[in-house]
Structure 1
Amino acid sequence: MPAQAWVTLIVGLIATVGVLVTWRQKNTADRRSEWWRRTTWALELTFSDAQEQRRLGWSLLLALAASKLVTKGDSDILQAIAEHVAMEGGGDDGEDSRDDVLADPHHDGEPDEYEQEGPGQQLGST
């Protein structure tokens, strides 16, 4: 094989690797952007006046916090928001306080026969 063919092959391989790296970076950026869009929606639900929407918001945040797309900074942000909401919760209106929803978004006041602690019980435990 002549030297010119080798040079062409090497340049082609380098270009292919460059395209693959660029595609992967764009794909990751798009996925993280979608993750933040979903997280924003879940956060809006957690601050809703309706208890069921708050529960849904916390459930979504727990699922989103377990994503492979979450960075340490994202996790810290979600944890700070959760702690803030937990501290301001606990009103005497007879409804579940927001800190109860944080601790267990599926809590309905009845003991759960399958209750067990596992990953995802706390935001930012990824």
Structure 2
Amino acid sequence: MPAQAWVTLVIGLIATIGVIVTWQQKNSADRRSEWWRRTTWACERTFSDSDVEAELGWRVLETLVGSKLVTRSDSDLVQVIAEQGAAGVRDNGEDVHGDDRST
């Protein structure tokens, strides 16, 4: 096999590897973007006036935090949101703004 054929083969293999790596990075970025979109949706539900929607939001957040896509900082961020949500509702059913959520 002549040297020119080897060079062509090596360059072709390098290009193929480059395409595969780029595709994997794009796929990962797209999946993380979708994870964030779903997390945003769930966070919006957790602060809903409807108890049913709030419960749904918390359940979805719980599921999303268990995903393989979540990073440590993502998990910490969701934890802060959960703590803020828990602190926002007092034992007597009023949130920090004085709205009665028990009705």
Q: Same fold (TM over 0.5)?
A: yes
Aligned to 1:33: 33
Aligned equivalent of 1:62: 62
**SS of the counterpart of 2:70?**
coil
The residue number in structure 1 matching 2:49 is 49
Deviation per residue, 1:2-57 (Å, 9 max, x gap): 11111100000000000000001111111111110000000000000000101100
- Partner Cα separation in structure 1 for residue 25 and residue 14 of structure 2: 17
Could you say which residue in structure 2 is the equivalent of 1:73?
A: 73
1:26 partner letter: K
SS in structure 2 of the partner of residue 48 of structure 1 = coil
User: Which position in structure 2 is the counterpart of 1:88?
Assistant: 88
Shift of 1:88: 2.1
Structure 2: which amino acid aligns with 1:44? E
TM-score, scaled to structure 2: 0.86
Structure 1, residues 65-84: CA drift from partner, whole Å, max 9, x if none? 01111011111100011111
What root-mean-square deviation, in Å, do the aligned CA atoms of Structure 1 and Structure 2 show? 1.3
Aligned length: 94
Runs (5+) with no aligned partner, structure 2: 94-103
Structure 1, gaps ≥5 residues long? 94-126
Equivalent AA in structure 2 for residue 23 of structure 1 = W
Q: CA deviation at 1:91?
A: 3.9
Q: Distance in 1 between matches of 2:88 and 2:26?
A: 39
